Amino acid sequence: MRCAFWFLLALHLSNLEAQDSLLLIREVPFEVPLADSAMAHLPDIQLIAKAGQDGLLIRWAPTNPVVWQMGIRFGYRLERQILEEGVSFEQASFVPVTMSPVKPWPLDNWQAIVNEQTPYTATAAMAIYGASNAGNGFVNQAHDQENRMGFNLLAADFDRQAAEASGLFYLEKDTSANTYGLYRIFIYDPVSGYRSDTTYQVIGYQTPLMNPGPQMLAPVEDEHTIQVRWEGSNPGYSGYWIERSTDDLHFERLNQQPFINAITDLRPDNDEIIYLDSLTENGVAYYYRVIGIDAFAEESLPSRSVKATGVDRTSPHAPDELVIREMTDHSLVLNWQLDNPSDDLAGFRVYTSKTADGDFTLLSEGLLEPGAREFRDLLPDLQNTNYYYVSAIDQNGNEAASPVQYAITADNLPPQAPVNLEYQIDSIGRLLIKWDAPADRDIRGYLIHYANEPQGPYAVVPGAYLTNTFFVDSVNLHTLTEHLYFYVIAVDWSYNASKASEILAVKKPDRIPPAPAIFTGYFAGVDTISLSWLPGASEDVQAVHLERREQGGEWRRLDRFSDQISPFLDTDISEGITYEYRLITEDDDGNRTIAEKTLTLTAQHTFFLPDIADFRVQLEKETATLTWVYPNADRFMFILYRSVKDEPLETYQLLNGITRWQDVDIKRRTDYTYAIKAKAKDGRESKLIAITTH
């Protein structure tokens, strides 16, 4: 499984490039086999390997300062067990790879590799041998050890000589083909008895390949700044080189030291790595690519290049002196000034809202010309305060807004009258009147006027203005008048009243049900039942509904008839089933009368039952299996006949409600004839079906 461990490094910006923080966290990836995926802690030592041109490169790293100190003191024991085909693990023993434990070089030996061109060897030497100024406090000493270990491991990642001199690297030159080794590494001191965890890793030499470049993400373009972004979720690299080009061919390196991804409490994840490149000029296209540095101080292939350009984010000068005037048609005209307009001014936008601090919406369509200083709102809100501001927009989309101004309109024009009045009224006098609102946007409400005669006099329904386009009331049905008359007036927020709508005549409902319809004839056949009737004698009969049910079932409507006399053929019937029919008479006011008398009819049966289908006989040794198909077989008895050879058929079995039966009383090489028919409880039978076996 893959494990990753993190080291906190307190680094000076003069030595390493990091962004916005002196506290850096470095992720060094190591792949190690773990005996138990649920173990709660990392092993003391992490071990990785990689094929190189000179042999097998082996790196290791302690996971805490205590193990780091023990490694410096006692050295690391690296051993190998050769894994060969046909040789078991028990038979192969571990052999030391080095004559003695791998330790850091003595301080005097470092002089040969420490110079101004190798800063990481000096860093590693200072981490191991440098004097401590942490004081006597336990916490200070612990922090000092953590920092020293971090410096040492970082230097080993970026300089192979530093890794080798620190006792954290070994070059395995024995790269025999098709031979894999199980390596293990640990720290052991026989005198003190100290022993670290043992880390195991199966390592084999393969053809050296360069590491693939980091996966680039889309860059973020800003003013004089480009965020170069790439994926960091795959912990394969300890540092990065960032390169830039103007032609995507010739690249120059931007950082003098490897770039290390900074992870702090404000940015705890490593999914995305960002490098900030400062630009002297906007509008110039650059190409960026990134090269990774792994724990063996080897560089990856360059990543794919990404293109980015610095963009202008500076807002233009904002409009000022915004003035709003109301015109005679209640439109509002906005005028503004703009002193010293920006050279890249693209135009203006006008925004509006119902409140000063509310959500402003774009009012103007598209961009107004850079020379525009006026805009007319043809449809302001006439009953509310209108708030506006004007924004200047430059060619890069940067926007600067004027101060917000407001205007209140004056209204002397009445609204249009309501139209399309219609009503609904039920049998108990509940009335609903609806209408379409006028196109005016400043309607305060509506007044309802009513009368018993079309000529009036009309009275106003008392109460507040109706704010909806409907009116609900209860009508007294116990009067001599058959109609009521209504009209509606609209009133705006300036109390201007519209003309009256057209008069709506409301017919009161008829509460007397119609006379019932009666059946006049019928005929019950096998496939159909024929019915005829006469509607009720009432003049306002509008329809007759025919309903049917099986005895004891729910009523179901068959059809609705508006003719005076309507014969009807009911074909959706089953033979032998008894049906009950009734008539419901409906008048033009929706009153209904259900006839007290119903008509009960039974569909006739056919003389013969349906034939038995798919009658088969299957012979197996001294058994004959008979099968057949019959709908609703459990309701019928089946009479089975049999004859032997040329003898006449005789009744053989009476089978109730089954479609399969076995005859075990048969002889081989004997011909049998079987016949079968169905019989119902009412005595009807199907035709005889016969089959002969051979």
Q: Is 453 left (phi over 0), alpha (psi -120 to 50) or beta?
A: beta
> For residues 645 and 670, is the Cβ–Cβ distance under 8 A?
yes
Helix (H) or strand (E) holding 278, with range, is: strand 272-278
Residue 176 maps to a domain: yes
Q: Tokens 């000096």 correspond to what residue?
A: 122
Residue 204, strand partner residues: 180
Are residue 179 and residue 56 in the same domain, yes or no?
A: yes
Predicted pLDDT of residue 22: 22
Please report the DSSP string for 11-35 in residue order.
Answer: --TTTSB-SS-SEEEEEEEEE---S
Pairing type for strands 599-602 and 504-507 reads unpaired
Q: What is the pLDDT of residue 235?
A: 65
**Half-sphere exposure at residue 117, Cβ-oriented, CA atoms within 13 angstroms:** 3
Q: Is 478 exposed, middle or buried (0-12, 13-18, 19+ CB in 10 A)?
A: exposed
Q: What is the pLDDT of residue 12?
A: 29
What is the pLDDT, as a whole number, of residue 262?
A: 66
130 shares its domain with 188: yes
Q: What is the pLDDT of residue 321?
A: 92
Helix (H) or strand (E) segment spanning residue 203: strand 199-204
* Full residue range of the structural domain in which residue 484 is found: 419-507
Q: What local confidence, expressed as pLDDT, does residue 563 receive? A: 64
From 385, 407, 429, the end of a domain falls on 407
Alpha-carbon span 87 to 90, nearest angstrom:
8
Whole-angstrom Cα distance, residue 673 to residue 640? Answer: 11
CATH number of domain containing 688: 2.60.40.10
Distance CA 93, CA 121 (A): 36
The answer to whether 74 and 60 have CB atoms below 8 angstroms apart is no
467 and 530 inside one domain? no
Residue 232 is predicted with a pLDDT of 84
- Looking at 578, 602, 626, the residue that finishes a domain is 602
Residue 211 falls within a domain, yes or no? no
**CA dist list (Å): 637 to 274, 352, 456, 576, 680:** 87, 86, 82, 18, 7
The neighbouring-strand residues paired with 334 are 324, 375
Query: How far are the Cα atoms of 64, 117, 121, 158 from residue 126, in angstroms, in the given order?
Result: 18, 16, 9, 16
pLDDT at 9: 29
- Which residue from 290, 270, 265 is spatially nearest to 20, judged by alpha carbons? 265
Please indicate, yes or no, if residue 215 is contained in any of the structural domains. Answer: no
Residue 269 has what pLDDT? 61
- The reported pTM is 0.52
Q: CB under 8 Å to 255, separation ≥6 — which residues?
A: 17, 240, 241, 242, 275
pLDDT value of residue 374: 96
315 domain-assigned = no
Q: Rounded mean pLDDT of the chain?
A: 85
* 502 and 522 inside one domain: no
Neighbours of 489 (CB within 10 A): 19
Query: Residue 267: which residues within 8 A CB-CB, separation 6 or more?
Result: none
Dihedral of the CA atoms 63, 64, 67, 70 (nearest 10)?
130
What's the order of all strands across the beta sheet hosting 568-570? 518-524, 529-534, 568-570
Query: What is the model's pLDDT at position 383?
Result: 73
Q: Tell me if 291 sits within 8 A of 213, measured CB to CB.
A: yes
Separation CA 407–CA 334 (nearest Å): 10
693: DSSP letter: -
Report phi then psi at 557, rounded to 5: -75, 130
pLDDT score recorded for residue 34: 36
d(CA 324, CA 332): 6
- For residue 29, the cross-strand partners are 4
Give every CB contact of residue 642 below 8 A, 6+ residues apart in sequence.
Answer: 649, 650, 652, 663, 672, 673, 674, 675
Q: Which of 448, 447, 454, 446 is nearest to 485 (CA)?
A: 454
621 shares a domain with 597: no
Domain count, the chain: 6
Q: How many beta carbons lie within 10 A of that of residue 174, not counting itself?
A: 12
Ranges under pLDDT 50 in the chain = 1-40, 178
Integer Cα distance of 491 and 446 in angstroms: 6
Q: Examine residue 212 and state whether it is found in any structural domain, yes or no.
A: no
Q: Is 26 left (phi over 0), alpha (psi -120 to 50) or beta?
A: beta
Do 237 and 267 reside in the same domain of the chain? yes
Q: Does 291 share its domain with 331?
A: no
Bridge partners (DSSP) listed for residue 623? 620
120: helix, strand or coil = helix
Residue 131 belongs to a domain: yes
DSSP letter for 44, please: S
**Which of 233, 212, 217, 229 minimizes the C-alpha distance to 300?**
212
**Domain shared by 175 and 93, yes or no:** yes
Domain annotation covers residue 576: yes
How far, in Å, CA of 467 to CA of 330, rounded?
23
CA 486 to chain centroid = 53
Of residues 186, 146, 161, the one with CA closest to residue 32? 186
Domain boundary residue, one of 309, 330, 355: 309
177 plus 84 within the same structural domain: yes
pLDDT at 29: 33
501 with 532, same domain?
A: no
Task: Please indicate, yes or no, whether residues 46 and 182 belong to a single structural domain of this protein.
Answer: yes
Within its chain, how far is the Cα of 351 from the centroid? 34
Residue 414 resides in a domain: no
Question: How many Å apart are CA 424 and CA 426, to the nearest integer?
Answer: 7
**Claim to verify: residue 373 and residue 429 sit in the same structural domain:** no
pLDDT at 30: 33
Predicted pLDDT of residue 564: 59
